[in-house]
Structure 1
């Protein structure tokens, strides 16, 4: 998108955030700009009926794959942490924080307890065999929960990093919310660090055909480094070094 000899990067950024609105799952807000999208997957619930609505769909499907979702939330946070002036000068600050919080709000819901972490909602093969709109996803979908017996160090640590990064992004904007993100990030990281294992082996075997993990040490380091930045606690830096 060129304007004379210059490129309209602000417009590109704005369209990028608009894309995220089109990928939203759950009950859509009144200010949703993508009007042809409606509420979807409102029956996403945990084992005891916990609300797991919200978050982002993966691509042209309607699975909530938590590995790429966590990575996405992390980078949405990086945008406002590292490039606040560029985002503001483009007139996209409001949209940037909305996009980030839509993802972080969902990740907060996925921490069901100290030893129960939701690793994915929906099944890839089942979803990919159905050609339909997101709004037609009205059934209760399978939820994959990581436990000590079914660990998921990679996905839990990636989610910890995402929430810790969100905490940094919201520290000066919403301190109370930032503290919520830190608390859940700690829980996620402790689970990931204590119960070691690949998430696609026992926790989310469905993910093996889509987002198979080759290492969880990088994710543990990612989560630890963001927790160090969010809390200032040196123990997380030492963990990352190890």
Structure 2
């Protein structure tokens, strides 16, 4: 979860926000015999039931959520992915809100593959903003901190995808129905949209629905990454630089 200015990723989601069935569908495909090469297979669109660009998006989101990892001949499921989505997994169909909180943490603490998400939840601390302000802030962050090449247009698109994933859609009738289906992460209420649609809110509020076990898991990962066994609660709550 340590930010590396050289190892960053923008735009690998093919402009598709994470959708409900994708993690389950993608994990199951990879976990099958010879499934490690599914994403490079001609059968991928048939097995996953989506177009080629969406195949790439599913692969990306599985990696960003740390549920699969590159292997010698393609991809393999991770132990955490097996615990959640395996045959005896805790929540193979993403029905428990606790799992959605966990997926949020795994994406937001993955700056190498989900740089925009890491930035928003660790660096961007405006409680009220417009989509344009968020896009400009992410682009400025990239210009000041990232040492590898990137496209300004792609960076701004990532900002839009962050908002689309976490803020519930307003049902714009001009938008195709498949594009307004809410991401599971929108259930968490971490980003909300004003009735007029121009303003977004992301405020530090009490989150009673956050399971203590998921919170403990996140803290344990922070401790492991920082090689520490204790941390002042004030630092844990208010540190704005992200961890470690």
TM over 0.5, shorter chain: no
| TM value normalised by structure 1 | 0.31
| TM value normalised by structure 2 | 0.31
